[in-house]
């Protein structure tokens, strides 16, 4: 098994003000209230036992959990009780320490995708035939608010976590602005279908899976690439999930070209070993990637790979959804002066964590869990990327008009730096978005 670096583009947990949106869930029973209090205690104990900083950054975690307990004793719904468990963990302001609530038995497909571009949030995709399409949502529409909450780099993932894991809602109210700045309010209804419950949160139930279920965000994880003779290869890596042998196969394609555009936009990270071997073939073998600073010790993460180093030009593309290993590799390439980065500032979600699965009940078993950061990662410049992200060498942000027309000015500029002309219109067609099947 690979040692998976769970520093994927993750979601910051909900701070208490975000819990003010009303819930339509049934009134909580006293039995379920006691179950929620048991979950709270189990999560508290796991964090105290495993969190990498025993001082919790100066946060009085016991008080946060005591306050959450008092709120749980007064709330009216189970969803609100679970939200308060999440809020207690949010006090740590740690991108990889969060509550994994019991899975909901339904999947909500809203039929639209969105992300931060710079400091603004835009709709990027709308599924044909969805209620979103019928209501006139279009790529390039700016989202001013979701159920009254303004999406920012700090709140966007909290909103997704809220409505994807804690309090799924069949309808979301959006405040949108079109290209001219004209605002409108739209209620978008999701398509609902039943799903299988997660039975073991240590095997494939992390927060990104929860969010993808909410958004129907299921990019095909195969590596996609396009070659332009011997001059250039454009390679899009969806995740860092490669074995050493598979990294070797990738490098076999890359080494034939004078330049590489490595598209890591939307890449949430993945395996440590994938990062080590890919960095070893692109940067240098036996170079320190970062120091892993844990609760009891600090040790370096080193590059691995062959001595057949890629000698061509490297241009890396990142955006607000590039996280973890994608951010680490990009920053390493910058630090070692092996290439340049283009696009948007990355997610700033770079810690190492482990998930702990919990369960309660006998006849009816309830599964839940918690992700806990067990190490910070310090880059070669002595800095952590957590909450900071990677700043590109060239900040290039697609406009609302670019999103509406499907243009990709970031990839077009990268090709120009590689000496190949690709128009922004053509660049936008190289790796088209693929909706999951109905």
CATH of the domain at 155: 2.30.42.10
Q: Indicate whether 432 belongs to any domain.
A: no
pLDDT value at position 372? 96
Residues 138 and 229 both lie in one domain: no
In the predicted model, is pLDDT for residue 201 greater than 80? Answer: no
Helices and strands, number each (H, E), in the chain: 12, 20
DSSP 208: H
| Residues near 202 by beta carbon (within 8 Å), at least 6 away in sequence | 355, 356, 357, 369
Q: Indicate whether 141 belongs to any domain.
A: yes
Which of these, 250, 211, 257, 260, lies nearest to 107 by C-alpha position?
Answer: 211
Residues 231 and 295 both lie in one domain: yes
Average pLDDT over residues 370-376: 95
Residue ranges of alpha helices (H) inside 73-171 are 78-90, 131-134, 156-161
Residues 281 and 398 both lie in one domain: yes
In the predicted model, is pLDDT for residue 11 greater than 80? Answer: no
Lowest mean pLDDT among 15-29, 149-163, 252-266, 403-417: 15-29
Q: Indicate whether 82 belongs to any domain.
A: yes
More confident residue, 109 or 234: 234
Average pLDDT over residues 99-114: 84
pLDDT value at position 435? 81
Residues 156 and 169 both lie in one domain: yes
What is the reported pTM? 0.86
What CA–CA distance (Å, rounded) separates 96 from 262? 26
Q: Indicate whether 202 belongs to any domain.
A: no
| Residues near 297 by beta carbon (within 8 Å), at least 6 away in sequence | none
Which domain, by its residues, includes 10?
A: 4-102+354-374
Q: Indicate whether 91 belongs to any domain.
A: yes
Q: Indicate whether 154 belongs to any domain.
A: yes
Residues 274 and 254 both lie in one domain: yes
Average pLDDT over residues 377-395: 97
| Residues near 209 by beta carbon (within 8 Å), at least 6 away in sequence | none
Q: Are 316 and 291 in contact (CB under 8 A)?
A: no
pLDDT value at position 172? 94
pLDDT class of 158 with cuts at 50, 70, 90: confident
Lowest mean pLDDT among 5-14, 22-31, 249-258, 338-347: 5-14
pLDDT value at position 257? 97
More confident residue, 390 or 102: 390
The sheet that has 112-117: what strands, in order across it? 112-117, 120-126, 142-146, 171-177, 183-189
pLDDT value at position 25? 59
Average pLDDT over residues 397-426: 98
Average pLDDT over residues 215-240: 82
What CA–CA distance (Å, rounded) separates 261 from 259? 7
In the predicted model, is pLDDT for residue 160 greater than 90? Answer: no
Which of these, 313, 312, 307, lies nearest to 285 by C-alpha position?
Answer: 307
pLDDT value at position 371? 94
Grouping H, G, I as helix, E, B as strand and the rest as coil, residue 436 is: coil
In the predicted model, is pLDDT for residue 16 greater than 80? Answer: no
Residues 342 and 303 both lie in one domain: yes
Average pLDDT over residues 219-227: 80
pLDDT value at position 220? 56
What CA–CA distance (Å, rounded) separates 193 from 202? 24
pLDDT class of 305 with cuts at 50, 70, 90: confident
Q: Are 274 and 248 in contact (CB under 8 A)?
A: no
pLDDT per position as a tens digit, 312-331: 999 999 999 999 999 999 99
Q: Indicate whether 436 belongs to any domain.
A: no
pLDDT value at position 6? 30
The pLDDT > 90 percentage for the chain reads: 72
CB-neighbour burial class of residue 175 (10 A; exposed 0-12, middle 13-18, buried 19+): middle
What CA–CA distance (Å, rounded) separates 87 from 99? 9
Can you say whether the dihedral through the CA atoms of 45, 46, 49, 53 is positive or negative?
negative
Q: How many folded domains does the chain comprise? A: 3
pLDDT value at position 438? 62
Lowest mean pLDDT among 114-123, 310-319, 367-376, 428-437: 428-437
């Amino acid at each position: 098994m690979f040692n998976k670096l769970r520093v994927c583009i993750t979601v910051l947990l909900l701070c208490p003000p975000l819990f003010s949106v009303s819930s339509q869930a049934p009134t909580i029973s006293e039995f379920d209230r006691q179950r929620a209090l048991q979950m709270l205690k189990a999560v508290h104990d796991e964090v105290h036992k495993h969190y990498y900083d025993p001082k919790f950054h100066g946060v009085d975690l016991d008080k946060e959990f005591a306050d959450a307990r008092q709120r749980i004793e007064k709330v009216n719904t189970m969803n609100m009780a679970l939200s308060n468990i999440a809020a207690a963990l949010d006090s740590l302001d740690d991108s990889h320490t969060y509550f994994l609530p019991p899975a909901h038995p339904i999947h909500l497909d809203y039929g639209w995708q969105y992300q931060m571009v710079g400091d603004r949030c835009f709709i990027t995709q709308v599924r044909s035939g969805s209620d979103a399409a019928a209501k006139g949502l279009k790529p390039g529409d700016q989202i001013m608010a979701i159920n009254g909450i303004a999406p920012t780099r700090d709140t966007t993932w909290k909103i997704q976590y809220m409505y994807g894991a804690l309090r799924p809602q069949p309808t979301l109210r959006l405040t949108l602005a079109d290209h001219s700045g004209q605002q409108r309010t739209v209620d978008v209804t999701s398509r609902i279908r039943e799903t299988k419950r997660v039975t073991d949160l240590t095997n494939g139930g992390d927060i990104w899976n929860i969010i993808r279920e909410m958004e129907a965000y299921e990019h095909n994880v195969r590596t996609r690439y396009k070659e332009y003779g011997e001059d250039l290869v454009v390679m899009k890596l969806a995740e860092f999930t490669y074995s050493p042998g598979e990294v070797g196969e990738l490098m076999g394609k890359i080494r034939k070209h004078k330049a590489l555009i490595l598209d890591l936009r939307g890449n949430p990270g993945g395996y440590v070993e994938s990062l080590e071997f890919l960095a070893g073939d692109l940067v240098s073998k036996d170079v320190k990637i970062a120091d892993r600073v844990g609760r009891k010790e600090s040790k370096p993460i080193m590059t691995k790979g062959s001595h057949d180093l890629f000698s061509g030009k490297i241009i890396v593309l990142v955006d607000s959804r590039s996280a973890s290993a994608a951010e680490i590799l990009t920053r390493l390439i910058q630090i070692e002066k092996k290439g340049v980065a283009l696009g948007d500032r990355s997610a700033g979600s770079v810690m190492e964590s482990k998930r702990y699965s919990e369960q309660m009940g006998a006849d009816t078993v309830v599964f839940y869990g918690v992700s806990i950061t067990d190490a910070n990662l310090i880059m070669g410049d002595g800095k952590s990327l957590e909450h900071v992200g990677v700043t590109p060498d060239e900040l290039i942000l697609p406009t609302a008009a670019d999103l509406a027309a499907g243009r990709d000015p970031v990839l077009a500029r990268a090709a120009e730096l590689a000496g190949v002309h690709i128009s922004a219109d053509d660049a936008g067609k190289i790796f088209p978005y693929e909706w999951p099947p109905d």
